[in-house]
Amino acid sequence: MSRESLFAIPCIWGYVKRDTMARIGVGLTVLLFPYAGFYSVLPLVLFIADRRVRVLSASLAFLLLLSFVLESTSFKLPLYLVAVSFVAPTFGALASRRFHDLAKSLVYLATTGVLGCLAILWTASPPLAVPVTAATTIVAIEPERVLFLATLGGLSGAFLHSASRRTERDFAVPFGSCMVMWLFSFDYPLPELEYLAGIYVFALALGIGAYRMKAADAEAVLSEVIICLLVILFADIFWFLLLLSFYLLGSGFTRYKYAKKQDLRIAQSRGGVRGYKNVYSNSLVPLALAVLYGVYGSEIFAFAFLGSVATATGDTLASEIGETARSTPRMITTFQPVEHGVDGGVTLLGEAASVFGALFTGVLAAATGMTGLLGLVAALLGGFLGTNFDSLLGATLQSRGFLSNNGVNLFATLFGALVGAAIWSWVM
């Protein structure tokens, strides 16, 4: 090691140590919330002068300002949600710094979950609180909601920390996690604390299993845990079972004749390991429908959910199985022969696989009591038509560069959902 490198070590260590102390200082600002309310922004103004935490301090100061401005409106941003947003990019990021990949995310989740709960309790109903403004008035919040919001904030913060670039984290993590918690902070009946904790452990176990099986990377695991938690809470565990069947079938058939797909240069990259973009592009529509069902209780959202999941399953099987067909694919718009892997190319084997995937979703839904014969029809038609709509988008918008593959998946699942909803509306 050169003399310059030896002299550089203390400098680097000193910078890391100063950065750590600055982040701890920003995080400890939460302790002022019950007493100073919005005026807790004043120490953050001082931290803005430190270039190591300038963006982070400015982001958190903006959230405090937003909470203060919205206090007199119907769109209130509770101060305790802002408090959790302070925890994620400070103590959560520092605790996970020495770990890598999924281990880093799990440490991040544990730290943010525990400290997030404490931050909510301290801010919402602190001991010996001295209310200064309306923002610091003591709020009664049940333990189930404390756990739910802290968990959701930790999950979204960990995901954004892993998925965003280093230069973007100090804005993306606090702002993004706060917006996610705010979105789900409305008054909705939550299950008992033990059941809620059980859902979280179940979701984590599934995610860790997928990671161990090399079916998903760390960001995809966090995405799946968020989806699992919300779908089960707002709908039912059988709803998530349908999504889980899609994940399992998709992962399994990705490896189907993988060597042949590699020879044709159409195999999934990274050995079929799914990333968060793939998870959200196929699951965002079903997630939204599950939440809408929980809020409004209409069966139209259940039928739309079946159509969207059947589309995701059918399309995945059509791609992974159809690409191995011996017959030449044909473009869905012109029926002219095309090479394997060309966007918009379809085969009879692929069409049959899409029918199987959609039918599997419908039969599983009927077997679990989620729906009856009509729901099975909605899944079958929604999945088949949604899969072919995916191919149509691939042949037109994707081939011209207007949509990515993930964008096509998102719109295809939305189309499948509309088909399922239309079947319910036509019959009812």
Closest by CA to 27, choosing from 89, 77, 114, is: 89
- Banded pLDDT at 80 (limits 50, 70, 90): very high
Instruction: Give me the DSSP letters along 122-156.
Output: HHHS-TT----SGGGS-----HHHHHHHHHHHHHH
Task: Give dist(CA 362, CA 358) in Å, integer.
Answer: 6
Give the CA-trace dihedral at 359, 363, 364, 367, to 10 degrees: 180
Task: Give dist(CA 88, CA 46) in Å, integer.
Answer: 20
Per residue in 35-47, pLDDT (tens digit) is 888 899 999 988 8
What is the Rg, in whole angstroms, of the alpha carbon atoms belonging to the chain? 24
Q: Hey, is 71 helix, strand or coil?
A: coil
Task: Give dist(CA 114, CA 404) in Å, integer.
Answer: 38
Task: Give dist(CA 366, CA 370) in Å, integer.
Answer: 6
Q: Which long-range contacts (CB under 8 A, 24 or more apart) does 62-68 make?
A: 62/175, 63/174, 63/175, 63/178, 64/38, 64/40, 65/38, 65/41, 67/38, 67/135, 68/37, 68/38, 68/133, 68/135
Averaged pLDDT, 200-228: 91
Q: Which two tokens stand for residue 393?
A: 């988008």
Task: Give dist(CA 141, CA 76) in Å, integer.
Answer: 15
Task: Give dist(CA 258, CA 265) in Å, integer.
Answer: 10
Q: Which residues pair with 274 in a beta bridge?
A: 216
- Banded pLDDT at 326 (limits 50, 70, 90): confident
Torsion sign across C-alpha atoms 283, 285, 291, 294: negative
Task: Please state the domain extents for the chain.
Answer: 1-190, 239-428
- Banded pLDDT at 4 (limits 50, 70, 90): very low
Task: Give dist(CA 111, CA 97) in Å, integer.
Answer: 12
Q: Hey, is 383 helix, strand or coil?
A: helix
Eight-state DSSP code of residue 164: S
Residue 365's contacts (CB-CB under 8 Å, 6 or more residues apart) are: 238, 242, 306, 371, 375, 376, 379
pTM: 0.88
Q: What is the pLDDT of residue 204?
A: 93
Task: Give dist(CA 287, CA 233) in Å, integer.
Answer: 11
Q: What is the pLDDT of residue 73?
A: 87
In this structure, are residues 119 and 30 in contact, taking their beta carbons and an 8 Å threshold? yes
Closest by CA to 351, choosing from 394, 393, 385, is: 385
Per residue in 120-151, pLDDT (tens digit) is 999 987 665 455 444 445 567 899 999 999 99
| Residue 380 identity (one-letter amino acid) | L
Instruction: Give me the DSSP letters along 321-381.
Output: HHTT-SSPPEETTT--B--TT-TTEE-HHHHHHHHHHHHHHHHHHHHTTS--HHHHHHHHH
Least confident of 166-175, 320-329, 333-342, 388-397: 320-329
Closest by CA to 316, choosing from 357, 258, 359, 348, is: 357
- Banded pLDDT at 246 (limits 50, 70, 90): very high
Give the CA-trace dihedral at 88, 92, 97, 98, to 10 degrees: -160
User: Which residue matches tokens 């060597």?
Assistant: 259
Check pLDDT > 70 for residue 49: yes
Task: Give dist(CA 142, CA 196) in Å, integer.
Answer: 13
Task: Give dist(CA 56, CA 160) in Å, integer.
Answer: 14
Task: Give dist(CA 11, CA 7) in Å, integer.
Answer: 7
Task: Give dist(CA 84, CA 2) in Å, integer.
Answer: 44
User: Which residue matches tokens 């020879």?
Assistant: 263
Q: What is the pLDDT of residue 129?
A: 46
Average pLDDT score over the chain: 87
